[in-house]
Copies of this chain bind each other. A is one copy, B any other.
């Protein structure tokens, strides 16, 4: 591990040096536009310092290092609150998929380089209003148009679409076959005529997800990234990548230390809350859950380092961590009593309990709801039967809406 530790130390030092210019403090009070601009400069700095595309092939401007270096860097980077999340999806799924499935290599390389330097952002156009957890049930359609295609329909929950230059999209090209057999995978220019992006405001107040409308959007066939009718497999490949994005045993909420500090600072029934069994129990249970997840994640990295495929238990993280974070955040509000009312909708959900609480439902739904994750584990890992699906094998256009 010493090589890696040395690499980690070097990266940590560099990140430290970037903090004054791009870190938490530097971002205070910035408008989203200003913050994004700062984010683009930070991404360029990462690229120049050799910390962009860490585990990507060098011919695409990556560093050619391992996944282990990547997650090590992510863990260190997380500490400083840099404006990197604008590029999380872009560099997380669409661009890697473009590298894997894009046909025109020159074009691909140009896009990848601009994405790595924060000049261009990609989004992922999967979910639809009718869809929910049923990806293969999508309705946006692409019809042959000359020697290209014409896209009509609507996507939703598209993160950062309003800042995106390009996107990858799954559409229905054949409604006459069972639903998952009639899909094809393309990339699209988000600035093309007929593309309309409308931000969706979330319960917590912010709005980084969008509705995206396609009205007679024309694309040439070189935009196609899968065989016609073979888009579902590429879509699944895209989603699989998500499992290897760095996890957080805090469920993307505050660290447990912050709860312990809170419990030490307030009184309950006339005694310090940290001495109250109810609070102690939640601290202990959450610690055990989080340490278990951390151990699972560390083992997954060790296996990847040893060239092995990590076990399926990795997919537990989001399910248990976010669910527990939701209840722990509610308890933190109870503990503060009427002091909990004071609320800043822009506070970080990693540091503020109210923000963590109000954004928790999004966390439980985004990237696979609890129920979807339970089904996936049940079927893929435990071999339990698939749910009854009346639409199975039925031509898409014969499924009752």
Determine how many copies of this chain the complex contains: 2
Q: Which of B268, B269, B277, B388 contacts A278 (CB 8 A)?
A: B277
What would 9 A/B residue contacts be, using CB atoms closer than 8 Å?
A268-B277, A269-B277, A276-B277, A277-B278, A277-B280, A278-B278, A278-B280, A278-B281, A388-B390
Chain A residues 269 to 287 lying within 8 A of chain B, measured CB to CB, are 269, 276-281
Q: Which residues of B contact A268 (CB under 8 A)?
A: 277
Q: Which of B279, B388, B390 contacts A277 (CB 8 A)?
A: B279
In the complex, residue of chain B having the shortest beta-carbon distance to the beta carbon of A389: B388
A278 to B281, CA, bound (A): 7
Q: Which residues of B contact A278 (CB under 8 A)?
A: 277-278, 280-281
- Which of A269, A276, A390 gathers most chain B CB within 10 Å? A276
Q: Which residues of B contact A281 (CB under 8 A)?
A: 277-278
Q: Which residues of B contact A277 (CB under 8 A)?
A: 268-269, 276-281
CB of A284 to closest CB in B, whole Å: 10
A281 to B331, CA, bound (A): 13
CB of A268 to closest CB in B, whole Å: 7
**Binary contact readout A149-166 vs B (1 if CB under 8 angstroms, 0 otherwise):** 000000000000000000
A216 to B277, CA, bound (A): 63
CB of A390 to closest CB in B, whole Å: 8
A112 to B388, CA, bound (A): 48
Chain A residues 241 to 280 lying within 8 A of chain B, measured CB to CB, are 268-269, 276-280
A337 to B241, CA, bound (A): 48
Q: Which residues of B contact A269 (CB under 8 A)?
A: 277
- Which of A278, A280, A388 gathers most chain B CB within 10 Å? A278
A268 to B280, CA, bound (A): 13
CB of A334 to closest CB in B, whole Å: 12
User: Could you list 7 further interchain pairs (A-B, Cβ under 8 angstroms) beyond the known A277-B277, A278-B280, A388-B390?
Assistant: A268-B277, A269-B277, A276-B277, A277-B280, A278-B278, A278-B281, A388-B388
Chain A residues 355 to 401 lying within 8 A of chain B, measured CB to CB, are 388, 390
**Binary contact readout A95-109 vs B (1 if CB under 8 angstroms, 0 otherwise):** 000000000000000
Q: Which residues of B contact A276 (CB under 8 A)?
A: 277
The 8 A-B pairs at the shortest CB distance, nearest first, are namely A277-B277, A388-B388, A277-B278, A276-B277, A278-B281, A278-B278, A277-B279, A277-B280
Q: Which residues of B contact A279 (CB under 8 A)?
A: 277
CB of A252 to closest CB in B, whole Å: 27
CB of A94 to closest CB in B, whole Å: 37
CB of A283 to closest CB in B, whole Å: 12
CB of A388 to closest CB in B, whole Å: 4
CB of A329 to closest CB in B, whole Å: 18
CB of A223 to closest CB in B, whole Å: 40
In the complex, residue of chain B having the shortest beta-carbon distance to the beta carbon of A279: B277
Q: Which residues of B contact A388 (CB under 8 A)?
A: 388, 390
Q: Which residues of B contact A390 (CB under 8 A)?
A: 388
CB of A276 to closest CB in B, whole Å: 4
- Which of A268, A281, A390 gathers most chain B CB within 10 Å? A281
CB of A316 to closest CB in B, whole Å: 23
CB of A288 to closest CB in B, whole Å: 15
In the complex, residue of chain B having the shortest beta-carbon distance to the beta carbon of A390: B388
